Chains A and B, each alone.
Chain A
Amino acid sequence: EDQVTQSPEALRLQEGESSSLNCSYTVSGLRGLFWYRQDPGKGPEFLFTLYSAGEEKEKERLKATLTKKESFLHITAPKPEDSATYLCAVQGIFGNEKLTFGTGTRLTIIP
């Protein structure tokens, strides 16, 4: 069974203070690892898909990286509008179209 563990559960940063969120996963053959951002009461918003170890993707202040066991979401010089829950999910080669989500990291950026 595919499993995803995210840490920390919650993170409070000062505006401009860079940090990283961790996503550890176990899957029987990775088809893709996904990062989403979710604001309270809203649906998850797609950020990145990573397919193979060594891959990196960037979008504004966010950069996602992937190894064979974990993924990191690096946030550089965050702003208050980056406050949200960040979800990591994996899709395995045996799971049809199923995504398995982690419990997320609640990120708060303090002005």
Chain B
Amino acid sequence: DTEVTQTPKHLVMGMTNKKSLKCEQHMGHRAMYWYKQKAKKPPELMFVYSYEKLSINESVPSRFSPECPNSSLLNLHLHALQPEDSALYLCASSQTQGVPYGYTFGSGTRLTVV
């Protein structure tokens, strides 16, 4: 299995809703990431988990809350989002520190906040 699976593929939520994005990989990777990508822009790093511990938080607002329940799963909990948070949310994984291998990205969740 050489894939990163993200669910749901599309999500529309109101500004008062609580929702979660899910990411799963079974490649034995020990680093997992959340990226945010706006249209025609490069991906921007939000969070890094290494060995299931949060190692990087790129000053992301607290309305985004990551969780890594185990080495295969990564969640992103969403609460009280703003319309400007609408974007493609990408999950990725990689073998951890040492020789830099390429990240494997999922297909993303297209989030629309109304």
The count of chain A contact residues (Cβ–Cβ below 8 Å) is: 24
- Specify the main secondary structure of chain B where it touches its partner: strand
Known: A96-B48, A98-B45. A42 touches B107 (CB 8 A): yes
Closest to A35 in B: B102
B103 touches A99 (CB 8 A): yes
B13-21, B63-71, B74-82, B88-96: which lies at the interface = B88-96
Contact A97 B90 (CB under 8 A): no
* Interface stretch (choices A12-20, A66-74, A75-83, A101-109): A101-109
- The interface residues of chain B lying within 8 Å CB-to-CB of A42 are 107-108
Report the interface size for chain B: residues with CB under 8 A from the other chain: 30
Residues of A within 8 A of B97 (CB): 96-97
Q: Mark B86-114, 1 if CB is under 8 A from A, else 0.
A: 00101010101101111111111010000
Give a binary string over B54-65; 1 marks a CB under 8 Å from any A CB, 0 the rest.
011000000000
Residues of B bordering A, CB below 8 Å:
4, 6, 31, 33, 41-45, 48, 50, 55-56, 88, 90, 92, 94, 96-97, 99-108, 110
